[in-house]
Amino acid sequence: MKSGNKHRKSVPSVVADMIRICDVVLEVLDARFIDDTRNIEIEKSVIEQGKRLIYLLNKSDLVDITKLKEEAEKKKLFPYIIMSSKSGVGKGKLMERIKIEAKRGLKDKKFEIARVGLVGYPNTGKSTMINFLTNRHDARTSAKAGFTKGLQKISLAKNILLLDTPGIIPAKEDSKIEQENIKKHTKINVETYDRIKNPELAVSELMKSHAGLFESYYNIKADGDSEKLIEEIGKKNNFMAKGGIINTDRAARLIIKEWQFGKIRAK
């Protein structure tokens, strides 16, 4: 971007408001596809406003940790926390870092509550991250009076409030046609279900473009949450990986296959 004003226009208003009122912003990235899931516009806005940005490298159980650290340091993603809600990695370090940054943010404020924002692309694991941090089985949030519509609040710890936003896709990508979105987000040149590099993001895009269609076809109540739909499909078909973990990759590919083969048809 040539100017700060220009890139700020591409940041959705709900996220812009969240950044403005928060002391710390957590960006959830898929450890497998760091570059694909970074939102540069939002990162620039956070930094320009003098807020602290922390990178959460989620789903670390699916990658080589040593290589992940090397990649994060090469890209200068500081500070970063390696996370995995499935294997229980990173929660302690993240909470410690949040408390440190929150205290710094409160020094020059009259507020007694530190606000921590959570952003990320759809399907990077934001909802499971909330469950992981709050020890809840189902991420249920409610709008806080006075906040911009769309912001959700979760009590994270004493004097620390977590503000969640919907999964965000940069405006320049969101304005493109569906197939271009899928190609960009999954880094593919061929659209077939067996070659898509990140099928979970592809499912998220399809669900966004065809609200309610996939839930209706599978008779699963997911409320537009692609992660929930994929997990339920995995359970239903007994797609299990080692350690009793649902093979979400396989489940997502099944959904895409049935879409591409015409079993799931847009009305």
Lowest mean pLDDT among 57-66, 140-149, 222-231, 254-263: 140-149
User: What residues contact residue 111 under an 8 Å CB cut-off, 6+ apart?
Assistant: none
Sign of CA dihedral 144, 147, 149, 151: negative
Q: Which residue has the tokens 């048809």?
A: 265
In angstroms, the CA 234 to CA 237 distance is: 5
Whole-number pLDDT of residue 258 = 87
In angstroms, the CA 206 to CA 252 distance is: 11
Question: What CA–CA distances, in Å, run from 80 to 41, 103, 124?
Answer: 18, 18, 15
What domains are defined for the chain?
Answer: 4-164 (3.40.50.300), 176-260 (1.10.1580)
pTM of the model: 0.65
Whole-number pLDDT of residue 26 = 96
**% of the chain beyond a pLDDT of 70:** 78
Whole-number pLDDT of residue 149 = 47
In angstroms, the CA 51 to CA 234 distance is: 39
87 vs 70 pLDDT, higher one: 70
In angstroms, the CA 233 to CA 247 distance is: 10
